[in-house]
Amino acid sequence: MFAAARQERIKELLLKHKQFDVASLAAMLGVTEVTIRRDLDKLEKEGFIIKTHGGAILKEDLPQPNLAERVPPEVIELGTAAALLVNNNEAIFLGGGLTCQQVAANLQTKQRLTVMTNDLQVALELNNALGVFCSVTGGNRLQGSGILVGDLALRAIEEVHFHKAILSVSGISFTSGYTANTVEEATFYRQLLTRCEELIIVADYRKFDKTGFSRIADLKAAQKVVTNKEVGDDYKEYYFRNNIKLYTPYEVEEIIEPDQTDQQQGGDGDDAGQISS
């Protein structure tokens, strides 16, 4: 990651969380603490931060840009919709990537919810969610992201059980199924599927008819899929024929109101959300 891009990422993190320590920034961005200190020196000269012992805090008199503008609107709506499929009192796994980060951003008001994730950014989104207990797998960080994989990540899920796993994927196709961009991600998620009752795939319509580098599972592995209304009719028909619930954000919101999640502990009650061909 080039210095300018890294400094922009640091700005985003500080705008959201107000303060950060050098060690955490270095681990998250995959650079040395010396590099982070140089970045912070530059941001302090720009008047963006105030350096502290071991970290930095945001200057509160700065104008606050809307960070949501940097996230595609179709991804924001998917995050909002998928979060409505999560009930209080559940244990869920939330995967890595921008879409899952948007799901996490919409879980803030859940109660007695247990979340495990392999994405440091997802964990940060849940940092101030008082009703959510969040744990991170550990593992090796994929270059250029906060996603963790490898033996440590696999060990973290060996003896746990999830009601739901919510994953975003790199590609969805009839020939390759659900795919990821790296072998390490695909290996981890294949093992995860043996530890969960229900798989929910959350992916924007542009991921369809695309294939990532490594296969996770075939299309029948998911019980629910959340995507945008632009998804092709051939996929709608496939999911309908195979009794897999396919939702668009509008339909999820119609079926599951945010204040009804506690009432659904005895069952999903969402069969009406399946798209018919």
H helices within the chain, ranges in order?
A: 3-17, 22-29, 33-45, 73-83, 98-105, 120-125, 151-156, 183-192, 233-241, 249-255
Q: Chain-wide mean pLDDT for the chain?
A: 86
Neighbours of 146 (CB within 10 A): 22
CA dihedral 137, 138, 141, 146 (to 10 degrees): 50
pLDDT, residue 216, reads: 98
Residue 42 has pLDDT above 50, yes or no: yes
Q: For the full predicted model, state whether its pTM sits above 0.85.
A: no
43-59 confidence digits (pLDDT tens): 888 888 888 878 888 87
132-151 confidence digits (pLDDT tens): 999 999 999 887 788 999 99
Q: Give the pairing type, strands 171-173 and 177-180.
A: antiparallel
The pair of three-digit structure tokens given for residue 18, joined into one six-digit string: 């107000």
Q: How far apart are CA 118 and CA 136, in angstroms?
A: 6
Q: Please report how the helices 22-29 and 3-17 are oriented relative to each other, as an axis angle in degrees rounded to 10.
A: 130
Pick the CATH number of 3-58 from 1.10.10.10, 1.10.40.30, 1.10.600.10, 2.70.70.10: 1.10.10.10
Confidence band of 276 (pLDDT split at 50, 70, 90): very low
- Least reliable range by pLDDT among 3-7, 102-106, 170-174, 211-215: 3-7
pLDDT, residue 164, reads: 98
Confidence band of 19 (pLDDT split at 50, 70, 90): confident
Arch. (CATH architecture) of 72-263 = 3-Layer(aba) Sandwich (3.40)
Looking at the DSSP assignment, which residues form a beta bridge with residue 71? none
Domains of the chain, residue spans: 3-58, 72-263
pLDDT, residue 15, reads: 79
Contact 138, 153 (CB under 8 A): yes
When pLDDT is averaged across residues 192-221 and rounded to a whole number, the result is 97
Residue 207 has pLDDT above 80, yes or no: yes
Residue 247 has pLDDT above 90, yes or no: yes
When pLDDT is averaged across residues 93-109 and rounded to a whole number, the result is 94
Confidence band of 261 (pLDDT split at 50, 70, 90): very low
Residue 222 has pLDDT above 60, yes or no: yes
